[in-house]
Amino acid sequence: MLLAAIDWHALLFLLFALVACGFGAAVLLTSNVVRMAFYLTLCLGATSGLFFLAGAQFVGAMQLMIYVGGTLVLLIFGVMLTAQARFISMKTGAGEWILGAIVGSSLLLLLVRAGFSVESWRLPRLDRDKITLAEGQTSTAIGLALTSVRVDKLSAPNEKLKPGMSGYLLPFVIVSMHLLVVLIGAGYMARTKRLGVNRATDRPVAQAPPRDRDRSFFVSAGLASGMIVNLLLAVGCCWLVAKPLAITGNAAPTNQFLLQLAKAIDAAPSWLLPTLGLLFLANVLLLVVVWYWQKWGVVGLVIVPLVMAFLIASTSLGQAAAVTIALIALAPVVLLILLLCSGRPTAWSQME
Amino acid sequence: MAQFLNVEVFSRLAGLAGGSVSADSWMGYAAAAAIHILFLIHVVAVGALVFIWLERKVAGRIQDRLGPTRVGGKFGWLQTLADGIKLIAKEDITPKDADPLLFKLAPYVSFAASFTAYMALPFANGWAAQEINVAVFFIVAVLGLEVFGVILAGYASGSKWSLFGGMREAAQVVSYEVPIGLCIVVPVLIVGSMNLVTIGEAQVGFFSNWLIFHDPFTFLVFFVYFTCAVASVNRAPFDLAEAESELVAGFHTEYSGLRWSFFFMAEYGSMFLVSGLAAILFFGGWNGPIPIFHMIGWAYEQGETGWRITGYIAQVAGVLNFMLKAVLGVTVMMWVRWTLPRLRIDQVMTTCLKYCVPLAAFCFIGAMLWKVYDVSSPHDLHGYTYGRSFAETRENWVLASEDNASRAVGNALRGVPESGTTEAQANSNRTSPHAHASVGRGTPDVTAPLAAQEVN
């Protein structure tokens, strides 16, 4: 059969390659910036098609996400927002053509030389029946390389190639931190300014006079008692670190509760008590923050007990103790939030 | 399916004419591919017809009207078809100031992006047009491209309303890709795979095994996901790109006729897609709330590769389950649209950056800690499981990669040179948990749905 004789894989490869090259050339030959971006998108999309054809699905999807999506953002913010009429249609002079041709062709020559320098790429392989596509399993190896070990290095023939086997964990973490910083920075830059500049007169607007904020007696009392209790707990933790309770002997506490407490402290790792003390101190500081009308203090007050619970859960004391302590610590916070949200006007609405 | 068609259909037909067809003939593959394409196009095209009718009905009932009642007898269910005929008959206008090429192409770009994502969406266990190992990632990447058509339409129309609509949509979709990505990572993290078939099949069993009930964080993250999904498919209350009270009709102001309807097919296609993705990621995909077909033993067992009628019925029931969940998601989107007023653009951005992103990040960290500390989920309280637990799925995954690595080490120790790579890949095919029973590369095999979960 004629159709059965066709090598579909090669045919599709040629198709995608033609699309990629054709639209690459179209990017060069068009003078309209938006059409250029559109052709560039199609060119990059065809390249991702080549990756999918080779079974590298992760890289293909990455190509779509980063390059095609990136071109999109470029198109939006680089062209549509900023371009004036004279930039929309770009005329290229003869000198620019010559310069571009020299740079481009030298790069092309370099790539062709590099491509043909690989021995196994020169001739078509004869054992094509034996080649199996990776069937998309490549992403596992990529994931392993990013977090722990490079599978391909394991089979390195000599010891000199072995270094670098531990993968790309450090670059991965650095890049993710970088992206996080960029995300937060972008949010910061784009935020609405509270004290803007009056556009009409181009003079700063006078700051609104601070509102009279009244704090009800219950909220004040709750905050004050919270500070005192947390301070006492922090001091207690420090005291227990300095002078541990004895479990046995004459000094052992006769009170059943104290005895249980001493046993629990003894069973816990040594870092737990100082950490808990610090967290109680943090609670005091957060209460001070709430006292000065900052909303993020309340968020911190919710987070600290959860952190405590996770710390305790990770020790030998068990999850039951963790949940109990979290509940005991969360209950006053919930009470405080209820207090903040009651009254008229609510304390919450006055906070920043 | 290709082999099934070859053996059962084509060889018998050829037998009548006196010829013969081998089991690996191209005809089976071509026919199987055609059937898949036909089904998928109908999900989008007919789905859009049904959804537009449904939207009118839902809108009518919410506003205390009846909606369409007359066309096609009861319930006005042929109303959209009548509209479609009207649209075909309309004149196809290109404005004077438009960029003619981009203006004509934009609807197709939008529709193609929406439709391409369906390639990776499984409708039942292993019934995906192309089962991709990184299907979740692929769908997110392709869905982000749908906005490209809208931007092109906005620019190429040569009208300020269109341009404003396109710009708004661009800003919105680009921002909402961040929280939606964070939300999707949570189920991926819990199951330990980006393969949608694996994620769906990990939730087999009672509804308590669905990922939304896995822990409080996944419960919360689903709602964040749904909000972001509504925003990313540009539905009210986030439909600023076509805000008719401000921008006439936004990016499709200048469009008419069939081109205009392509935008709507793309929109309803994307709605169904994100709802289907939610169904797989959070609501057990094709697994019903009670695993009836597992209880009576009809569903395919793990590692089963043969074809049987009972298993096929169970699969079809799975497709119905999946469709039902996805349609439910689309209906909720309609309900939201006719209930909430449209947000302002700064409110849209505030929702994204100040609420959705921090919430999604918080849930991500929470779910991660839940996983690290191995806290039990409600599903562990009763002992009924059919299929593998998440731990088992993950274990298979790790075992396969370890196997891969150890084979590579073995090759290195034996001194096998370069060819080791190819061999290791071939080995990984055989031993991986998601290995295909490769009947045909590029042509999915419907008769062997469980080959995808072959356990070693």
Closest chain B CA to residue A4: B26
Q: A311 contacts in B (CB within 8 Å)?
A: none
Distance from CA of A103 to the nearest CA of B (A): 31
Distance from CA of B368 to the nearest CA of A (A): 12
Q: Is the minimum CB–CB distance between B400 and chain A shorter than 8 Å?
A: yes
End-to-end CA distance of chain B: 24
Amino acid at B113: A
Residue B87 structure tokens:
């649209």
Which residues on adjacent β-strands are paired with residue A198?
A: A203
Look up residue B250 and give its DSSP letter. Answer: G
Q: A38 contacts in B (CB within 8 Å)?
A: 102, 105, 152
Q: A8 contacts in B (CB within 8 Å)?
A: 442
Residue with tokens 């749905």: B449
pLDDT digits (tens, 9 = 90+) for B360-410: 989 999 888 888 877 777 666 665 555 555 566 556 656 665 666 566 556
> What band does B23 get if pLDDT is binned at 50, 70 and 90?
low
> Does some domain include residue A193?
no
Alpha helices in B283-385, H assignment, sequence order: 292-295, 309-337, 345-350, 357-372
Q: Is the minimum CB–CB distance between B361 and chain A shorter than 8 Å?
A: no
Distance of alpha carbon A322 from alpha carbon A330, whole angstroms: 12
**A277 with A241: CB under 8 angstroms?**
yes
Whether residues B408 and A154 touch (CB distance < 8 A) is answered with yes
Give the model's pLDDT for residue A23: 92
| DSSP per-residue string spanning B96-160 | TTS-HHHHHHHHHHHHHHHHHGGGG--SSTT--SS--TTHHHHHHHHHTTHHHHHHHHHHHTT-H
| DSSP per-residue string spanning A183-234 | HHHHHHHTSPPSS-EETTTTEEPPPPPPPP----HHHHHHHHHHHHHHHHHH
Whether residues A4 and B138 touch (CB distance < 8 A) is answered with no
Residue B417 structure tokens:
């040179």
Look up residue B306 and give its DSSP letter. Answer: S
Residue A87 structure tokens:
């930039």
Give the model's pLDDT for residue A107: 92
Comparing B314 with A203, the larger pLDDT belongs to B314
Q: B142 contacts in A (CB within 8 Å)?
A: 64
**Which of B167, B349, B405 comes nearest A154 by C-beta?**
B405
Give the model's pLDDT for residue B161: 83
Closest chain A CA to residue B151: A76
Alpha helices in chain A, H assignment, sequence order: 2-5, 8-29, 33-53, 57-62, 69-73, 85-88, 94-117, 138-147, 151-154, 169-189, 217-242, 256-267, 272-291, 296-313, 319-341, 347-350
**Which of B141, B152, B369 comes nearest A38 by C-beta?**
B152
Same domain (yes/no): A30, A77:
yes
> Does some domain include residue A91?
yes
Closest chain B CA to residue A185: B353
**B451 with B445: CB under 8 angstroms?**
yes
> Does some domain include residue A162?
yes
Q: Is pLDDT above 70 for B283?
A: yes
Q: Is the minimum CB–CB distance between B156 and chain A shorter than 8 Å?
A: yes
Give the model's pLDDT for residue B278: 92
Distance of alpha carbon B364 from alpha carbon A338, whole angstroms: 27
Distance of alpha carbon A212 from alpha carbon A290, whole angstroms: 16
**Which of A69, A131, A151 comes nearest B144 by C-beta?**
A69
CA B184 to chain centre: 12
Cβ pairs bridging A and B (under 8 Å): 148
Q: Is pLDDT above 90 for B225?
A: yes
Q: A152 contacts in B (CB within 8 Å)?
A: 408, 421
pLDDT digits (tens, 9 = 90+) for B117-143: 888 888 888 777 777 878 898 898 888
Whether residues A131 and B422 touch (CB distance < 8 A) is answered with yes
Instruction: Mention every residue, 6+ apart, whose C-beta is less than 8 A from residue B445.
Output: B1, B2, B3, B436, B437, B439, B451
Whether residues B133 and A136 touch (CB distance < 8 A) is answered with yes
Residue B4 structure tokens:
């099934």
CA A292 to chain centre: 32
Indicate the average pLDDT of chain B.
76
Distance of alpha carbon B287 from alpha carbon B279, whole angstroms: 10
Distance of alpha carbon B381 from alpha carbon B375, whole angstroms: 12
Q: A154 contacts in B (CB within 8 Å)?
A: 405, 408-409, 412
Same domain (yes/no): A234, A346:
yes
CA A209 to chain centre: 39
Same domain (yes/no): A230, A340:
yes
Same domain (yes/no): A104, A164:
no
* Domain count along chain A: 3
Distance of alpha carbon B117 from alpha carbon B120, whole angstroms: 6
Same domain (yes/no): A108, A223:
no
* Alpha carbon distances (Å) from A52 to A9, A138, B68, B193: 11, 11, 45, 19
Amino acid at A297: G
Closest chain A CA to residue B136: A61
**A347 with A294: CB under 8 angstroms?**
no
Same domain (yes/no): A102, A159:
no
Distance of alpha carbon A160 from alpha carbon B251, whole angstroms: 59
Same domain (yes/no): A177, A248:
no
Whether residues A64 and B400 touch (CB distance < 8 A) is answered with no
A197-198 and A203-204 beta bridge pairing: antiparallel
Q: A134 contacts in B (CB within 8 Å)?
A: 425, 428-429
Q: B430 contacts in A (CB within 8 Å)?
A: none
pLDDT digits (tens, 9 = 90+) for B170-181: 888 878 888 898
Provide the CATH number for the domain around residue A101: 1.20.120.1200
Handedness of CA B250, B255, B257, B263 (dihedral sign): negative
Q: B26 contacts in A (CB within 8 Å)?
A: 1, 3-4
> What band does B275 get if pLDDT is binned at 50, 70 and 90?
very high
Whether residues B133 and A3 touch (CB distance < 8 A) is answered with no
Same domain (yes/no): A228, A341:
yes
Chain B residues 102-121 with a CB less than 8 Å from chain A: 102, 105
Q: Is the minimum CB–CB distance between B398 and chain A shorter than 8 Å?
A: no
Same domain (yes/no): A225, A338:
yes
**B334 with B58: CB under 8 angstroms?**
yes
> Does some domain include residue A177?
yes
Same domain (yes/no): A42, A99:
yes
pLDDT digits (tens, 9 = 90+) for B297-306: 777 776 666 6
**Which of A72, A131, A192 comes nearest B148 by C-beta?**
A72
**Which of B132, B373, B417 comes nearest A57 by C-beta?**
B132
Q: Is pLDDT above 70 for B445?
A: no
Distance from CA of B159 to the nearest CA of A (A): 13
The 10 Å Cβ neighbour count of residue B303 is: 11
Q: A135 contacts in B (CB within 8 Å)?
A: 133, 429, 432, 435-436, 438
Which residues on adjacent β-strands are paired with residue A204?
A: A197
Comparing B225 with A120, the larger pLDDT belongs to B225
Q: Is pLDDT above 80 for B456?
A: no
Q: Is the minimum CB–CB distance between B132 and chain A shorter than 8 Å?
A: yes
Instruction: Mention every residue, 6+ apart, whose C-beta is less than 8 A from residue B122.
Output: B128, B131, B135, B196, B197, B200, B280, B285, B286
> Does some domain include residue A210?
no
> Does some domain include residue A286?
yes
Closest chain A CA to residue B137: A61
Whether residues B151 and A76 touch (CB distance < 8 A) is answered with yes
Q: B347 contacts in A (CB within 8 Å)?
A: none
Residue with tokens 């002997």: A249
Give the model's pLDDT for residue B394: 57
Q: Is the minimum CB–CB distance between B428 and chain A shorter than 8 Å?
A: yes
Whether residues A149 and B405 touch (CB distance < 8 A) is answered with yes
Distance from CA of A9 to the nearest CA of B (A): 10
> Residue A297 sits in which domain range?
217-350
**B396 with B433: CB under 8 angstroms?**
yes
Distance of alpha carbon A253 from alpha carbon A261, whole angstroms: 10
Provide the residue-wise pLDDT of chain A in tens; the chain has 352 residues. Answer: 555 566 777 788 889 999 999 999 998 888 777 788 888 888 988 999 888 888 788 888 888 888 888 777 777 666 666 655 655 677 777 788 888 889 989 998 998 888 888 877 777 666 666 665 555 466 777 777 777 677 666 666 666 656 666 677 778 888 888 888 887 887 777 666 655 444 555 555 555 555 556 667 777 888 888 888 888 888 888 888 777 766 666 666 667 777 777 777 777 777 788 888 888 888 888 888 887 777 777 888 888 888 888 787 777 666 777 777 777 878 888 888 877 777 666 666 666 6
Whether residues A135 and B397 touch (CB distance < 8 A) is answered with no
**B444 with B435: CB under 8 angstroms?**
no
Q: Is pLDDT above 50 for B418?
A: no
Q: B155 contacts in A (CB within 8 Å)?
A: 34, 80
Same domain (yes/no): A251, A288:
yes
**Which of A58, A157, A190 comes nearest B134 by C-beta?**
A58
Instruction: Mutation target for A interface from B137, B370, B395: give the one with most A CBs within 10 A.
Output: B137
Q: A85 contacts in B (CB within 8 Å)?
A: none
Distance from CA of A82 to the nearest CA of B (A): 12
B233 three-state secondary structure: coil
Whether residues B134 and A57 touch (CB distance < 8 A) is answered with yes
Give the model's pLDDT for residue A17: 92
Give the model's pLDDT for residue B153: 85
Whether residues A61 and B138 touch (CB distance < 8 A) is answered with yes
Same domain (yes/no): A234, A339:
yes
Give the orientation angle of helix B135-143 with respect to helix B100-116, to 10 degrees.
160
* Alpha carbon distances (Å) from A232 to A235, A271, A309, B253: 5, 19, 19, 68
